[in-house]
């Protein structure tokens, strides 16, 4: 597929529900754009309250005329957390057309086997970058190592179409675009410098994490909605690449992980915010691995665009 001028269909409505993220506040009030948890459900009494974990998962729904698309992006860090929240939130998984894996880290993939089981015999597409199933680890400056490898996937059932590609992919009647491998063009987003990947039995320094990809929507008359898992490519690289792929400059919303937490990344928060101001998205909902400091600085710098993240939130764009 050509990496420019991809014909991403304008949708009349897009809904993104945070199935899993790092924080939850059951009393967070709704707004015109963000529908929060429904307290009328008597959470904890009539149905279990949703939970927060260090992970990410989102249900993405789009509509254009009488055509509809529904996909799940990522599957969280535990075998049961995403399923727990799907049940708690009463989400309907009928007609899910695809599961998209943003990248191959444990906090986005460990819930995948049970999520696949939940979808039973329905036909759907599983899409990821070819590197997404490689073993991964982080080596701290102290020398301490911890593994963040993805889940292991055995032989998939015949009803699942498995797509491994570095290239962009259109789904759901061309209403949903998976970016594929993201170009790195900024001079300050240099990747995860303490990250390693095992290839052919040996650990290799892998700061760029090239399997990182995003999901892109195009809301009619409003512009692009960009959903990231961790944003290891750099959130500015990610936005710029979405603009390049679609030849659409207007950015309506950016949400997900911006990966600005910790000492390695906090020093690039000012440059990131400077570029976000130039891009001028209508809405920003940084979550997951963005980090406390970056989230608060983004909220202070772009208060009219900022939306707090919260498990169970449904953003409605139309």
pLDDT of 44 reads: 67
Q: Which residue has the higher pLDDT, 47 or 84?
A: 84
Mean per-residue pLDDT, 141-152: 92
- Domain edges within the chain: 13-317
pLDDT of 86 reads: 96
Whether this prediction's pTM lies above 0.75 is answered by yes
Q: Which residue has the higher pLDDT, 310 or 43?
A: 310
CATH code that applies to domain 13-317: 3.60.15.10
* pLDDT bucket at 120, cuts 50 / 70 / 90: confident
In SS3 terms, the chain reads as: CCCCCCCCCCECEEEEEEEECCCCCCCCCCCCCEECCCHHHCECCCECCCCCCCCCEEEEEEEECCEEEEEEECCCCCCCHHHHHHHHHCCCCCCCCEEECCCCCHHHHCCHHHHHHHCCCCCEEEEECCCCCCCEEEECCCCCEEECCCCCCCCCCCCEEEEECCCCEEECCCCEEECCCCCCCCCCCCCCCCEEEEECCEEEECCCCCCCCEEEEEECCCEEEEEECCCCCCHHHHHHHHHHHHCCCCEEEEEEECCCCCHHHHCCHHHHHHHHHHHCCCEEEEEHHHCHHHHHHHHHHCCCCECCCCCCCEEEEC
pLDDT of 2 reads: 64
Mean per-residue pLDDT, 281-306: 98
């Amino acid at each position: 597929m050509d990496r420019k001028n991809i014909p991403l269909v304008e949708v009349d409505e897009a809904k993104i529900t945070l199935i899993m993220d790092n924080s939850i506040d059951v009393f967070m009030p709704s707004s015109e754009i963000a529908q929060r948890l429904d307290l009328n459900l008597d959470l904890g009494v009539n149905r279990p309250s949703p939970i927060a974990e260090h992970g990410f998962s989102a249900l993405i729904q789009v509509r254009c005329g009488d055509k509809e698309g529904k996909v799940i992006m990522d599957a969280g860090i535990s075998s049961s957390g995403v399923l727990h929240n799907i049940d708690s939130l009463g989400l309907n998984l009928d007609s899910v057309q695809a599961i998209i894996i943003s990248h191959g880290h444990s906090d986005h993939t460990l819930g995948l086997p049970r999520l696949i089981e939940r979808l039973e015999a329905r036909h759907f597409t599983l899409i990821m970058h070819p590197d997404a199933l490689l073993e991964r680890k982080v080596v701290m400056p102290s020398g301490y190592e911890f593994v963040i490898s993805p889940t292991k996937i055995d032989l998939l059932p015949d009803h699942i179409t498995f797509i491994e590609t570095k290239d962009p992919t259109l789904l759901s009647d061309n209403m949903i675009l998976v970016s594929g491998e993201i170009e790195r063009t900024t001079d300050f987003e240099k990747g995860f410098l303490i990250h390693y990947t095992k290839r052919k039995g040996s650990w290799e320094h892998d700061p760029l994490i090239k399997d990182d990809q995003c999901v892109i929507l195009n809301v009619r008359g409003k512009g692009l909605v960009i959903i990231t898992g961790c944003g290891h490519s750099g959130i500015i690289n990610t936005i710029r690449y979405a603009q390049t792929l679609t030849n659409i400059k207007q950015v309506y919303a950016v949400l997900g992980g911006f990966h600005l937490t910790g000492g390695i990344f906090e020093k690039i928060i000012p440059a990131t915010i400077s570029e976000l101001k130039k891009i001028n998205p209508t809405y920003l909902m940084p979550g997951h691995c963005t980090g406390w400091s970056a989230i608060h600085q983004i909220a202070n710098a772009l208060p009219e665009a900022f939306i707090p993240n919260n498990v169970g939130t449904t953003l409605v764009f139309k």
